[in-house]
Structure 1
Amino acid sequence: MANPQATELFKIVEKYFPELSEKQRQQFLDMYPIYEEWNGKINVISRKDTENFYERHVLHSLSIAKIICFAPGSRLIDVGTGGGFPGIPLAVLFPDVEFLLIDSIGKKIRVVEDVAQQLGLSNVKAMQIRAEEVTQKFDFVLSRAVAEINTFWRWTSHLIAKKSQHEVPNGLLSLKGGDLLEEFADFPHFFKFYELRHYFSEEFFETKKLVYAHA
């Protein structure tokens, strides 16, 4: 039985992603009570954000899919995933893509593992580890406001596989907000800003951006 509050709040996701399968729709609906329960134990997301869960966490994560459609068999790593964003929502949307979600804080990884298990996400693996210690290679590195770009590139550039299987070269996909011109002024690699207000009409997205970068 779907949570009535979740069903109502989820409409904002269906507005922009109307072609979800019934399984995906149910997985997204099931997220809300799982995160609500965890939030009662530890501060996974801001408690004032609970009623904006689908807009500020799920839809924000899924905005990456408005820019790039990941090919089946792709391998993605979500660095500093926190409670599982953007990795968990994207793993629901792309069930044929492998996701590694990492964070240095153990209790956050326990949340991610529980959410993935309850949602039946066999394409998600979670690890308590720092990006610098990971030796595997990935098509894309994902993040949501983890660190300033030069620092983040230093932590993660070794994770990017050289051989690309998408139209765009492998690289970083980072969700950020505000004026980024100063932050990127001395970034020595290719980057591009995607203004999320061009894809979503809600006020929350007015200053939000997806940054794509590659060597």
Structure 2
Amino acid sequence: MADWSERIPAVLAQVGLTASPRQLEQLAGYMALLQRWNATYNLTALRSPQDMLSHHLADCLVVVAPLLRHLGLSSEQAQQTHASHKLLDVGSGGGLPGVVLAILCPAVAVTCVDTVGKKAAFIRQVAAELALPNLRGEHARVEALKGEFHVVASRAFASLPDFTRWTRHLLTPASVWMAMKGKQPEDELAELQGLARVEAIEPLSVPGLDAERCIVWMRLPSA
């Protein structure tokens, strides 16, 4: 097994984030759990620790600062243990980015939803083992989920039209969609008319990953 506690600080420094010793411990614990469960439950196709660092962890860490900006939270406010903001990670799989966001942003209550029961069970195990009271795992179809969220996020989950269509009932007029994408999805963007209003397309630079990444920020058309 990789020594995650030695690998992660350099990645955090590269993306300009700081973490407490407890958060470093939780990130390392999460990556170890992901690697361990992956051997049995196939949570991710990646097996190499270096690939998991760049393609998974770093790829999620780079969205922390943009998320806090959209929520209007400072780095200090994000550390408050009272979870005052709610985020839904749709099709979360092994918890990317949901678990990473829950660790680094205690002020955000994160719900990870997946249609695969073993993946939701993994999230619940992570929440229990790493003592993350702001993290929940839900086994459900997102179309059947109820509630309201400040941010509805996805990472390689579905096309933008499908993502917005299936989750629009979970947004308020003040909520935002955060779709993590690779290359700017021009065809998908062209199909959004009437479904969502694109607020911004934010390019991302991921350390160790020679590939295009971006966040597509969207709101309800009437918002």
Q: TM-score range by the shorter chain?
A: 0.7 to 0.9
Which runs of 5 or more residues in structure 1 are unaligned? 165-169
Write the distance in 2 (CA, Å) between the matches of 1:117 and 1:47.
Answer: 24
SS at match of 2:133: coil
Match of 2:157 among 141, 146, 157: 146
Contact kept, 8 Å, 2:54 with 2:209, in 1: the verdict is no
> Do structure 1's residue 75 and structure 2's residue 74 form an aligned pair?
no
Per-residue CA distance 1:132-176 (angstroms, 9 max, x = gap): 1111000010110111111111100110123x4xxxxx2110111
Write the distance in 2 (CA, Å) between the matches of 1:154 and 1:18.
Answer: 33
Structure 1 residue runs of 4 or more that deviate by more than 3 Å after TM superposition: 47-50, 200-204
The TM-score normalised by the length of structure 2 is 0.84
Q: What residue number does 1:167 align with?
A: none
> Do structure 1's residue 209 and structure 2's residue 208 form an aligned pair?
no
Paired residues in the alignment total: 204
Contact kept, 8 Å, 2:5 with 2:24, in 1: the verdict is no
The percent identity for this pair of structures is 25
> Do structure 1's residue 195 and structure 2's residue 200 form an aligned pair?
no
The TM-score normalised by the length of structure 1 is 0.87
Contact kept, 8 Å, 1:13 with 1:54, in 2: the verdict is no
> Pairwise mapping of residues 27-106 of structure 1 onto structure 2 (< 5 A)?
27-69=26-68, 70=71, 71=73, 73-106=84-117
The CA deviation at 1:18 is 4.1
Contact kept, 8 Å, 2:88 with 2:152, in 1: the verdict is yes
Contact kept, 8 Å, 2:15 with 2:61, in 1: the verdict is no
The CA deviation at 1:25 is 1.1
Q: What residue number does 2:79 align with?
A: none
| Cα distance change of structure 1 residues 154 and 98 upon mapping to structure 2, 3 Å threshold | same
> Pairwise mapping of residues 102-141 of structure 1 onto structure 2 (< 5 A)?
102-141=113-152
Q: What residue number does 1:9 align with?
A: 7
Write the distance in 2 (CA, Å) between the matches of 1:33 and 1:109.
Answer: 17
Amino acid at match of 2:190: A
Contact kept, 8 Å, 2:46 with 2:52, in 1: the verdict is no
Write the distance in 1 (CA, Å) between the matches of 2:162 and 2:37.
Answer: 31
CA RMSD of aligned residues (A): 1.8
| Cα distance change of structure 1 residues 96 and 36 upon mapping to structure 2, 3 Å threshold | same
Q: What residue number does 1:174 align with?
A: 179
